[in-house]
Homo-oligomer: A and B are copies of this chain.
Amino acid sequence: MIDMASIAAKRMTEIRLLQRRDWPATWAIIEPVFRAGETYAFPPDISEEETYEIWVEKPTATFVAVSGNGEVLGTYYIKPNQPGPGSHVCNCGYIVAERARGRGIASGMCEHSQREAAARGFRAMQYNLVVATNESAVRLWQHHGFETVGTLAGAFRHPREGFVDAFLMYKQLAT
Protein backbone atom coordinates (compact mmCIF):
# COMPACT_ATOMS: atom_id res chain seq x y z
CA MET A 1 0.00 0.00 0.00
CA ILE A 2 1.36 3.39 -0.91
CA ASP A 3 1.39 5.66 2.12
CA MET A 4 0.47 8.99 0.50
CA ALA A 5 0.70 10.95 3.73
CA SER A 6 4.24 9.69 4.22
CA ILE A 7 5.21 10.55 0.65
CA ALA A 8 3.72 14.01 1.04
CA ALA A 9 5.61 14.52 4.31
CA LYS A 10 8.87 13.48 2.70
CA ARG A 11 8.32 15.83 -0.23
CA MET A 12 7.57 18.73 2.02
CA THR A 13 10.39 18.08 4.46
CA GLU A 14 13.69 19.75 3.77
CA ILE A 15 16.90 18.56 5.41
CA ARG A 16 19.47 21.31 5.83
CA LEU A 17 22.30 22.41 8.10
CA LEU A 18 21.20 23.52 11.57
CA GLN A 19 21.51 27.25 12.10
CA ARG A 20 21.83 28.93 15.48
CA ARG A 21 18.21 30.10 15.35
CA ASP A 22 17.02 26.48 14.94
CA TRP A 23 18.43 25.50 18.32
CA PRO A 24 15.44 26.24 20.62
CA ALA A 25 13.12 24.12 18.44
CA THR A 26 15.79 21.44 18.09
CA TRP A 27 16.41 21.28 21.83
CA ALA A 28 12.63 20.98 22.31
CA ILE A 29 12.63 17.71 20.36
CA ILE A 30 15.90 16.38 21.81
CA GLU A 31 15.10 17.12 25.46
CA PRO A 32 12.22 14.65 26.01
CA VAL A 33 14.20 11.87 24.30
CA PHE A 34 17.29 12.42 26.48
CA ARG A 35 15.15 12.88 29.64
CA ALA A 36 13.41 9.56 28.96
CA GLY A 37 16.82 7.82 28.91
CA GLU A 38 15.60 4.88 26.85
CA THR A 39 17.60 5.20 23.64
CA TYR A 40 20.72 7.34 24.07
CA ALA A 41 23.70 6.84 26.36
CA PHE A 42 23.58 10.38 27.72
CA PRO A 43 22.76 11.24 31.32
CA PRO A 44 18.99 11.87 31.52
CA ASP A 45 19.69 15.06 33.51
CA ILE A 46 22.02 16.47 30.84
CA SER A 47 21.80 20.26 30.52
CA GLU A 48 20.84 22.21 27.41
CA GLU A 49 24.41 23.58 27.23
CA GLU A 50 25.99 20.11 27.37
CA THR A 51 23.55 18.89 24.75
CA TYR A 52 24.44 21.78 22.44
CA GLU A 53 28.10 20.86 22.85
CA ILE A 54 27.63 17.16 22.00
CA TRP A 55 24.95 17.61 19.33
CA VAL A 56 26.17 20.77 17.57
CA GLU A 57 29.63 21.95 18.61
CA LYS A 58 31.63 18.73 18.65
CA PRO A 59 30.19 17.01 15.54
CA THR A 60 31.42 17.75 12.03
CA ALA A 61 27.94 18.92 11.03
CA THR A 62 24.40 18.98 12.40
CA PHE A 63 21.24 18.97 10.32
CA VAL A 64 17.56 19.62 10.86
CA ALA A 65 14.56 18.21 9.00
CA VAL A 66 12.14 21.08 8.55
CA SER A 67 8.51 20.94 7.41
CA GLY A 68 7.08 23.14 4.66
CA ASN A 69 5.93 25.65 7.25
CA GLY A 70 9.35 25.87 8.91
CA GLU A 71 8.75 23.53 11.85
CA VAL A 72 11.77 21.49 13.03
CA LEU A 73 10.67 17.83 12.90
CA GLY A 74 13.99 16.06 13.26
CA THR A 75 17.73 16.46 13.68
CA TYR A 76 20.90 14.49 13.20
CA TYR A 77 24.62 14.98 13.65
CA ILE A 78 27.57 13.46 11.83
CA LYS A 79 31.10 13.14 13.23
CA PRO A 80 34.14 10.86 13.06
CA ASN A 81 33.56 7.89 15.37
CA GLN A 82 37.25 7.76 16.31
CA PRO A 83 40.15 10.16 15.78
CA GLY A 84 43.25 9.62 13.66
CA PRO A 85 43.47 6.22 11.93
CA GLY A 86 39.79 5.57 12.73
CA SER A 87 38.46 8.92 11.50
CA HIS A 88 37.22 7.62 8.13
CA VAL A 89 34.35 5.87 9.95
CA CYS A 90 31.59 8.25 10.98
CA ASN A 91 28.94 8.12 13.64
CA CYS A 92 25.50 9.74 13.47
CA GLY A 93 22.71 10.30 15.97
CA TYR A 94 19.12 10.96 14.88
CA ILE A 95 16.05 12.25 16.71
CA VAL A 96 12.56 12.77 15.32
CA ALA A 97 9.94 14.89 17.11
CA GLU A 98 7.42 12.65 18.80
CA ARG A 99 4.52 14.28 16.96
CA ALA A 100 6.20 13.62 13.58
CA ARG A 101 7.01 9.91 13.93
CA GLY A 102 5.92 7.35 11.35
CA ARG A 103 6.24 9.83 8.50
CA GLY A 104 9.53 8.66 7.05
CA ILE A 105 11.60 11.44 8.56
CA ALA A 106 14.12 9.13 10.22
CA SER A 107 14.50 7.25 6.93
CA GLY A 108 14.99 10.52 5.09
CA MET A 109 17.65 11.64 7.55
CA CYS A 110 19.39 8.24 7.39
CA GLU A 111 19.62 8.43 3.58
CA HIS A 112 20.69 12.08 3.73
CA SER A 113 23.38 11.28 6.30
CA GLN A 114 24.84 8.51 4.12
CA ARG A 115 25.10 10.88 1.16
CA GLU A 116 26.64 13.57 3.39
CA ALA A 117 29.06 11.05 4.87
CA ALA A 118 30.23 9.83 1.47
CA ALA A 119 30.56 13.41 0.20
CA ARG A 120 32.70 14.25 3.22
CA GLY A 121 34.99 11.30 2.53
CA PHE A 122 33.78 8.89 5.19
CA ARG A 123 34.04 5.23 4.16
CA ALA A 124 31.70 3.65 6.69
CA MET A 125 29.07 4.57 9.27
CA GLN A 126 28.91 3.06 12.74
CA TYR A 127 26.17 3.14 15.38
CA ASN A 128 27.88 2.25 18.63
CA LEU A 129 24.97 1.49 20.90
CA VAL A 130 21.56 0.74 19.37
CA VAL A 131 19.44 -0.27 22.35
CA ALA A 132 17.87 -3.68 21.69
CA THR A 133 14.50 -2.56 23.07
CA ASN A 134 14.41 0.23 20.47
CA GLU A 135 13.08 -2.23 17.92
CA SER A 136 11.80 0.31 15.41
CA ALA A 137 15.29 1.83 15.19
CA VAL A 138 16.94 -1.58 14.75
CA ARG A 139 14.52 -2.45 11.94
CA LEU A 140 14.98 0.93 10.30
CA TRP A 141 18.77 0.75 10.25
CA GLN A 142 18.64 -2.82 8.94
CA HIS A 143 16.30 -1.63 6.19
CA HIS A 144 18.91 0.98 5.26
CA GLY A 145 21.64 -1.63 4.91
CA PHE A 146 23.22 -1.58 8.33
CA GLU A 147 24.50 -4.86 9.61
CA THR A 148 24.32 -5.83 13.27
CA VAL A 149 27.97 -6.75 13.65
CA GLY A 150 27.84 -7.41 17.37
CA THR A 151 25.72 -7.60 20.49
CA LEU A 152 26.90 -5.95 23.70
CA ALA A 153 25.34 -7.97 26.50
CA GLY A 154 23.65 -5.77 29.08
CA ALA A 155 25.43 -2.64 27.84
CA PHE A 156 22.49 -0.27 28.38
CA ARG A 157 20.68 0.48 31.62
CA HIS A 158 17.07 1.00 30.64
CA PRO A 159 14.93 2.95 33.13
CA ARG A 160 12.22 0.27 33.21
CA GLU A 161 13.76 -2.86 31.67
CA GLY A 162 17.05 -2.78 33.60
CA PHE A 163 20.24 -3.91 31.86
CA VAL A 164 19.40 -4.63 28.23
CA ASP A 165 21.56 -5.55 25.26
CA ALA A 166 22.76 -3.05 22.70
CA PHE A 167 23.77 -3.64 19.11
CA LEU A 168 26.72 -2.30 17.23
CA MET A 169 25.55 -1.56 13.68
CA TYR A 170 27.84 -0.79 10.77
CA LYS A 171 27.64 -0.04 7.06
CA GLN A 172 30.37 0.45 4.53
CA LEU A 173 29.54 3.34 2.23
CA ALA A 174 29.94 3.48 -1.53
CA THR A 175 33.08 5.50 -2.21
Contact = CB atoms under 8 A, between A and B. Distances in A.
Interface string A122-164: 0110101100000000000000000001111111111100010
Interface stretch (A17-25, A39-47, A66-74, A98-106): A39-47
B155 A126 contact: yes
Interface string A74-88: 000000001111111
Given A41-B86, A84-B44, A84-B46, A170 B149 contact: no
Contact of A85 (B88, B123, B151, B156): B156
Nearest to A172: B153
A124 B154 contact: yes
Interface size class of chain A, counting residues whose CB lies under 8 Å from the partner chain: 35 or more
A143 to B, nearest CB: 20
B155 A168 contact: no
A82 B20 CA distance: 27
Contacts of A151: 149
Given A89-B155, A150-B168, A172-B154, A84 B124 contact: no
Contact of A149 (B40, B85, B152, B172): B152
A59 interface: no
Interface of A: 37, 40-44, 46, 82-89, 123-124, 126, 128-129, 149-159, 163, 166, 168, 170, 172
